[in-house]
Amino acid sequence: MGRWNSTSVPGFILMGLTDSAETHLLLSMPFLLIYLITVLGNAGMILIIRLDPQLHTPMYFFLTHLSFLDLSYSSVTTPKTLQSLLTSIKSISFLGCFTQMYFFILLAATECFLLSSMAYDRYVAICHPLHYPVIMSTRRCRALLTGSYVIGFIYCTAVVVSMSQLHFCNSNVIQHFFCDTSPVLALSCSDTSEVEIIIFISAGSNLVLNLITTSASYVFILSTILKINSTAGKKKAFSTCASHLLGVTIFYGTMIFTYLKPKTSYSLGKDQVASVFYTIVIPMLNPIIYSLRNKEVKNAAVRFMQKIAGSRQVK
Protein backbone atom coordinates (compact mmCIF):
# COMPACT_ATOMS: atom_id res chain seq x y z
CA MET A 1 0.00 0.00 0.00
CA GLY A 2 3.03 2.24 -0.14
CA ARG A 3 2.18 3.60 -3.58
CA TRP A 4 -0.73 5.58 -2.19
CA ASN A 5 1.72 8.40 -1.41
CA SER A 6 2.49 8.75 -5.13
CA THR A 7 -1.14 9.36 -6.10
CA SER A 8 -2.64 12.82 -6.47
CA VAL A 9 -6.02 11.73 -5.08
CA PRO A 10 -6.38 12.52 -1.34
CA GLY A 11 -9.22 10.07 -0.81
CA PHE A 12 -12.45 8.84 -2.35
CA ILE A 13 -16.00 10.10 -2.62
CA LEU A 14 -18.76 7.50 -2.35
CA MET A 15 -21.61 8.73 -4.56
CA GLY A 16 -24.08 6.27 -3.09
CA LEU A 17 -27.17 4.96 -4.82
CA THR A 18 -28.59 8.22 -6.19
CA ASP A 19 -27.87 11.95 -6.52
CA SER A 20 -31.34 12.97 -5.35
CA ALA A 21 -31.58 14.29 -1.77
CA GLU A 22 -35.28 13.35 -1.64
CA THR A 23 -34.48 9.79 -2.65
CA HIS A 24 -31.78 9.67 0.02
CA LEU A 25 -34.39 10.36 2.70
CA LEU A 26 -36.75 7.78 1.22
CA LEU A 27 -34.03 5.12 1.18
CA SER A 28 -32.60 5.91 4.62
CA MET A 29 -35.62 4.70 6.59
CA PRO A 30 -35.98 1.24 4.98
CA PHE A 31 -32.19 0.76 5.04
CA LEU A 32 -32.09 1.67 8.73
CA LEU A 33 -35.02 -0.67 9.45
CA ILE A 34 -33.37 -3.51 7.51
CA TYR A 35 -30.10 -3.00 9.38
CA LEU A 36 -31.85 -3.03 12.77
CA ILE A 37 -33.65 -6.25 11.83
CA THR A 38 -30.32 -7.69 10.66
CA VAL A 39 -28.60 -6.86 13.94
CA LEU A 40 -31.47 -8.07 16.13
CA GLY A 41 -32.15 -11.17 14.01
CA ASN A 42 -28.56 -12.40 13.81
CA ALA A 43 -27.65 -11.43 17.37
CA GLY A 44 -30.85 -13.12 18.56
CA MET A 45 -30.03 -16.26 16.58
CA ILE A 46 -26.55 -16.41 18.14
CA LEU A 47 -27.95 -15.85 21.63
CA ILE A 48 -30.70 -18.47 21.32
CA ILE A 49 -28.35 -21.14 19.97
CA ARG A 50 -25.69 -20.41 22.58
CA LEU A 51 -28.13 -20.52 25.51
CA ASP A 52 -30.18 -23.58 24.46
CA PRO A 53 -28.34 -26.91 25.11
CA GLN A 54 -30.65 -28.71 22.67
CA LEU A 55 -29.15 -26.68 19.82
CA HIS A 56 -25.54 -27.51 20.62
CA THR A 57 -25.13 -29.64 17.48
CA PRO A 58 -22.86 -29.25 14.42
CA MET A 59 -25.62 -27.73 12.27
CA TYR A 60 -26.31 -24.97 14.80
CA PHE A 61 -22.62 -24.51 15.48
CA PHE A 62 -22.21 -23.50 11.84
CA LEU A 63 -25.43 -21.50 11.90
CA THR A 64 -24.10 -19.45 14.82
CA HIS A 65 -21.04 -18.46 12.80
CA LEU A 66 -23.18 -17.78 9.71
CA SER A 67 -25.16 -15.29 11.78
CA PHE A 68 -21.90 -13.75 13.03
CA LEU A 69 -20.60 -13.35 9.46
CA ASP A 70 -23.90 -11.85 8.23
CA LEU A 71 -23.98 -9.41 11.12
CA SER A 72 -20.33 -8.46 10.59
CA TYR A 73 -20.26 -7.93 6.83
CA SER A 74 -23.53 -6.02 6.92
CA SER A 75 -21.94 -3.76 9.56
CA VAL A 76 -18.91 -3.20 7.31
CA THR A 77 -21.01 -1.45 4.64
CA THR A 78 -24.42 -0.39 5.98
CA PRO A 79 -23.43 2.22 8.63
CA LYS A 80 -21.34 4.14 6.08
CA THR A 81 -24.22 3.89 3.58
CA LEU A 82 -26.65 5.27 6.17
CA GLN A 83 -24.22 8.11 6.96
CA SER A 84 -24.10 8.99 3.27
CA LEU A 85 -27.90 8.89 2.99
CA LEU A 86 -28.61 10.93 6.13
CA THR A 87 -25.77 13.48 5.91
CA SER A 88 -23.67 15.16 3.26
CA ILE A 89 -20.56 13.22 4.35
CA LYS A 90 -19.60 11.06 1.38
CA SER A 91 -15.83 11.09 1.67
CA ILE A 92 -13.74 8.12 2.74
CA SER A 93 -9.97 7.96 3.14
CA PHE A 94 -7.70 5.56 1.25
CA LEU A 95 -7.14 3.56 4.41
CA GLY A 96 -10.85 3.55 5.23
CA CYS A 97 -11.80 2.49 1.71
CA PHE A 98 -9.33 -0.37 1.50
CA THR A 99 -10.07 -1.46 5.08
CA GLN A 100 -13.76 -1.64 4.23
CA MET A 101 -12.95 -3.59 1.07
CA TYR A 102 -10.63 -5.95 2.94
CA PHE A 103 -13.08 -6.92 5.67
CA PHE A 104 -16.01 -7.17 3.29
CA ILE A 105 -14.13 -9.59 1.00
CA LEU A 106 -12.79 -11.53 4.00
CA LEU A 107 -16.24 -12.02 5.51
CA ALA A 108 -18.00 -12.77 2.20
CA ALA A 109 -15.33 -15.29 1.12
CA THR A 110 -15.42 -16.97 4.53
CA GLU A 111 -19.21 -17.25 4.27
CA CYS A 112 -18.86 -19.07 0.95
CA PHE A 113 -16.71 -21.76 2.54
CA LEU A 114 -18.91 -21.88 5.64
CA LEU A 115 -21.96 -22.54 3.45
CA SER A 116 -20.04 -25.43 1.86
CA SER A 117 -19.26 -26.80 5.32
CA MET A 118 -22.96 -26.60 6.17
CA ALA A 119 -23.81 -28.47 2.97
CA TYR A 120 -21.31 -31.19 3.93
CA ASP A 121 -22.90 -31.36 7.39
CA ARG A 122 -26.36 -31.91 5.84
CA TYR A 123 -24.91 -34.56 3.49
CA VAL A 124 -23.48 -36.53 6.42
CA ALA A 125 -26.68 -36.12 8.46
CA ILE A 126 -28.92 -37.47 5.69
CA CYS A 127 -26.65 -39.91 3.85
CA HIS A 128 -24.74 -41.30 6.85
CA PRO A 129 -27.02 -40.70 9.87
CA LEU A 130 -25.61 -43.57 11.98
CA HIS A 131 -22.06 -42.24 11.65
CA TYR A 132 -23.01 -38.57 11.95
CA PRO A 133 -21.80 -38.04 15.56
CA VAL A 134 -18.44 -39.63 14.72
CA ILE A 135 -17.88 -37.89 11.37
CA MET A 136 -19.07 -34.45 12.49
CA SER A 137 -17.08 -34.43 15.69
CA THR A 138 -16.29 -31.22 17.55
CA ARG A 139 -12.74 -31.37 16.24
CA ARG A 140 -13.85 -31.67 12.60
CA CYS A 141 -16.40 -28.88 12.95
CA ARG A 142 -13.75 -26.56 14.34
CA ALA A 143 -11.33 -27.57 11.59
CA LEU A 144 -13.91 -26.77 8.90
CA LEU A 145 -14.65 -23.41 10.53
CA THR A 146 -10.97 -22.53 10.91
CA GLY A 147 -10.30 -23.56 7.31
CA SER A 148 -13.11 -21.27 6.13
CA TYR A 149 -11.55 -18.26 7.86
CA VAL A 150 -8.00 -19.10 6.76
CA ILE A 151 -8.94 -19.51 3.09
CA GLY A 152 -11.03 -16.34 3.24
CA PHE A 153 -8.05 -14.49 4.71
CA ILE A 154 -5.71 -15.70 1.95
CA TYR A 155 -8.20 -14.80 -0.76
CA CYS A 156 -8.98 -11.29 0.48
CA THR A 157 -5.30 -10.52 1.15
CA ALA A 158 -4.35 -11.47 -2.42
CA VAL A 159 -7.09 -9.27 -3.89
CA VAL A 160 -6.68 -6.18 -1.69
CA VAL A 161 -2.87 -6.16 -1.74
CA SER A 162 -2.87 -6.38 -5.56
CA MET A 163 -5.37 -3.51 -5.78
CA SER A 164 -3.39 -1.38 -3.35
CA GLN A 165 -0.52 -1.30 -5.85
CA LEU A 166 -2.61 0.67 -8.36
CA HIS A 167 -2.28 4.42 -9.00
CA PHE A 168 -5.28 6.75 -8.66
CA CYS A 169 -4.41 10.02 -10.34
CA ASN A 170 -7.55 11.55 -11.81
CA SER A 171 -11.09 11.01 -10.58
CA ASN A 172 -11.72 9.96 -6.98
CA VAL A 173 -15.49 9.59 -7.29
CA ILE A 174 -16.64 6.02 -6.67
CA GLN A 175 -19.97 5.39 -8.37
CA HIS A 176 -21.12 3.04 -5.65
CA PHE A 177 -22.25 3.05 -2.02
CA PHE A 178 -19.20 1.17 -0.68
CA CYS A 179 -15.64 0.37 -1.73
CA ASP A 180 -16.13 -2.69 -3.91
CA THR A 181 -13.52 -3.97 -6.35
CA SER A 182 -15.18 -3.10 -9.69
CA PRO A 183 -15.97 0.60 -9.08
CA VAL A 184 -12.56 1.20 -7.46
CA LEU A 185 -10.78 -0.51 -10.38
CA ALA A 186 -12.67 1.75 -12.77
CA LEU A 187 -10.94 4.81 -11.22
CA SER A 188 -7.37 3.59 -11.57
CA CYS A 189 -5.05 5.19 -14.10
CA SER A 190 -2.77 2.12 -13.98
CA ASP A 191 -2.99 -0.98 -16.12
CA THR A 192 -5.52 -3.08 -14.22
CA SER A 193 -5.37 -6.20 -16.38
CA GLU A 194 -3.22 -8.18 -13.94
CA VAL A 195 -5.39 -7.19 -10.99
CA GLU A 196 -8.54 -8.14 -12.90
CA ILE A 197 -7.05 -11.56 -13.63
CA ILE A 198 -6.19 -12.04 -9.95
CA ILE A 199 -9.71 -11.03 -8.89
CA PHE A 200 -11.36 -13.18 -11.56
CA ILE A 201 -9.26 -16.24 -10.73
CA SER A 202 -9.65 -15.76 -6.97
CA ALA A 203 -13.39 -15.09 -7.06
CA GLY A 204 -13.95 -17.73 -9.73
CA SER A 205 -12.04 -20.46 -7.92
CA ASN A 206 -13.76 -19.51 -4.66
CA LEU A 207 -17.28 -19.63 -6.07
CA VAL A 208 -16.73 -22.59 -8.41
CA LEU A 209 -15.06 -24.73 -5.74
CA ASN A 210 -17.81 -24.01 -3.23
CA LEU A 211 -20.56 -24.48 -5.80
CA ILE A 212 -19.12 -27.87 -6.79
CA THR A 213 -18.86 -28.92 -3.14
CA THR A 214 -22.38 -27.73 -2.33
CA SER A 215 -23.89 -29.16 -5.52
CA ALA A 216 -22.21 -32.56 -5.02
CA SER A 217 -23.50 -32.66 -1.44
CA TYR A 218 -27.06 -31.99 -2.60
CA VAL A 219 -26.85 -34.51 -5.44
CA PHE A 220 -26.07 -37.21 -2.89
CA ILE A 221 -28.72 -35.82 -0.53
CA LEU A 222 -31.37 -35.87 -3.26
CA SER A 223 -30.37 -39.38 -4.30
CA THR A 224 -30.73 -40.58 -0.71
CA ILE A 225 -34.08 -38.82 -0.20
CA LEU A 226 -35.52 -40.41 -3.36
CA LYS A 227 -34.69 -43.85 -1.97
CA ILE A 228 -36.81 -43.25 1.13
CA ASN A 229 -40.08 -45.15 0.78
CA SER A 230 -42.43 -43.09 2.95
CA THR A 231 -43.61 -39.63 1.92
CA ALA A 232 -43.31 -38.42 5.51
CA GLY A 233 -39.70 -39.60 5.62
CA LYS A 234 -38.87 -37.78 2.40
CA LYS A 235 -40.51 -34.60 3.67
CA LYS A 236 -38.66 -34.76 6.98
CA ALA A 237 -35.31 -35.39 5.29
CA PHE A 238 -35.76 -32.56 2.82
CA SER A 239 -36.93 -30.13 5.51
CA THR A 240 -33.58 -30.49 7.30
CA CYS A 241 -31.71 -28.94 4.36
CA ALA A 242 -34.37 -26.79 2.62
CA SER A 243 -33.44 -23.62 4.54
CA HIS A 244 -29.76 -24.00 3.75
CA LEU A 245 -30.48 -24.70 0.08
CA LEU A 246 -32.60 -21.55 -0.18
CA GLY A 247 -29.95 -19.41 1.53
CA VAL A 248 -27.19 -20.81 -0.71
CA THR A 249 -29.20 -20.17 -3.88
CA ILE A 250 -29.84 -16.52 -3.01
CA PHE A 251 -26.28 -15.84 -1.84
CA TYR A 252 -24.43 -17.47 -4.73
CA GLY A 253 -26.86 -16.13 -7.33
CA THR A 254 -26.05 -12.49 -6.55
CA MET A 255 -22.33 -13.19 -6.04
CA ILE A 256 -21.98 -14.87 -9.44
CA PHE A 257 -23.89 -12.06 -11.16
CA THR A 258 -21.65 -9.42 -9.58
CA TYR A 259 -18.14 -10.90 -9.68
CA LEU A 260 -17.82 -13.56 -12.38
CA LYS A 261 -17.66 -11.15 -15.28
CA PRO A 262 -15.00 -8.90 -16.81
CA LYS A 263 -14.62 -5.21 -16.02
CA THR A 264 -15.93 -4.26 -19.50
CA SER A 265 -19.38 -5.63 -18.67
CA TYR A 266 -19.64 -3.64 -15.44
CA SER A 267 -23.08 -2.02 -15.20
CA LEU A 268 -23.56 0.56 -12.46
CA GLY A 269 -27.32 0.17 -12.05
CA LYS A 270 -27.46 -3.63 -12.14
CA ASP A 271 -24.42 -4.06 -9.92
CA GLN A 272 -25.76 -1.64 -7.34
CA VAL A 273 -29.07 -3.50 -7.12
CA ALA A 274 -27.24 -6.82 -6.74
CA SER A 275 -24.87 -5.29 -4.19
CA VAL A 276 -27.73 -3.90 -2.10
CA PHE A 277 -29.27 -7.35 -2.13
CA TYR A 278 -26.26 -9.34 -0.91
CA THR A 279 -24.76 -6.70 1.42
CA ILE A 280 -27.93 -5.41 3.09
CA VAL A 281 -30.92 -7.65 2.34
CA ILE A 282 -29.45 -11.19 2.52
CA PRO A 283 -27.95 -10.71 6.02
CA MET A 284 -31.48 -9.82 7.15
CA LEU A 285 -33.10 -12.75 5.32
CA ASN A 286 -30.81 -15.52 6.62
CA PRO A 287 -32.01 -15.51 10.26
CA ILE A 288 -35.60 -15.32 8.99
CA ILE A 289 -35.08 -18.24 6.60
CA TYR A 290 -33.36 -20.42 9.19
CA SER A 291 -35.77 -19.60 12.02
CA LEU A 292 -39.17 -19.61 10.31
CA ARG A 293 -38.45 -22.88 8.49
CA ASN A 294 -36.90 -24.59 11.52
CA LYS A 295 -39.08 -25.98 14.31
CA GLU A 296 -36.12 -26.49 16.65
CA VAL A 297 -35.11 -22.83 16.44
CA LYS A 298 -38.72 -21.68 16.90
CA ASN A 299 -39.14 -23.96 19.92
CA ALA A 300 -35.85 -22.71 21.36
CA ALA A 301 -37.01 -19.11 20.85
CA VAL A 302 -40.27 -19.90 22.69
CA ARG A 303 -38.34 -21.49 25.57
CA PHE A 304 -36.05 -18.45 25.67
CA MET A 305 -39.01 -16.03 25.85
CA GLN A 306 -40.72 -18.16 28.50
CA LYS A 307 -37.52 -18.15 30.56
CA ILE A 308 -37.33 -14.34 30.33
CA ALA A 309 -41.02 -14.01 31.25
CA GLY A 310 -40.55 -16.40 34.17
CA SER A 311 -37.58 -14.47 35.53
CA ARG A 312 -39.58 -11.22 35.38
CA GLN A 313 -42.46 -12.79 37.30
CA VAL A 314 -40.08 -13.98 40.02
CA LYS A 315 -38.79 -10.44 40.42
Q: Distance (Å, rounded) from C-alpha 211 to C-alpha 222?
A: 16
293, pLDDT greater than 90: no
Indicate the pLDDT class of residue 311, thresholds 50, 70 and 90: low
Q: pLDDT over 90 for what percent of the chain? A: 27
Indicate the pLDDT class of residue 260, thresholds 50, 70 and 90: low
| Predicted model pTM | 0.85
Is residue 188 within 8 Å of 194, Cβ to Cβ? no
Within 10 A of 99 (CB to CB), how many other CB atoms are there? 15
Q: Distance (Å, rounded) from C-alpha 279 to C-alpha 178?
A: 10
Residue-level pLDDT at 103: 95
125, pLDDT greater than 50: yes
Q: pLDDT over 70 for what percent of the chain? A: 86
pLDDT in tens, 204-214: 888 888 889 98
Domain regions of the chain by residue span: 2-314
Indicate the pLDDT class of residue 6, thresholds 50, 70 and 90: very low
8-state DSSP, 279? I
Mean per-residue pLDDT, 156-181: 86
Instruction: Quote the strand ranges of 69-171, DSSP E.
Output: 91-93
pLDDT in tens, 191-234: 888 888 888 888 888 888 888 998 898 899 888 888 877 777 77
Residue-level pLDDT at 7: 52
Query: How many residues are recorded in the chain?
Result: 315
Is residue 218 within 8 Å of 245, Cβ to Cβ? yes
Q: Distance (Å, rounded) from C-alpha 78 to C-alpha 269?
A: 18
129, pLDDT greater than 50: yes
More confident residue, 309 or 277: 277
8-state DSSP, 4? G
100, pLDDT greater than 90: yes
State which fold the 2-314 domain adopts.
Answer: Rhopdopsin 7-helix transmembrane proteins (1.20.1070)
Indicate the pLDDT class of residue 257, thresholds 50, 70 and 90: low
Mean per-residue pLDDT, 104-121: 92
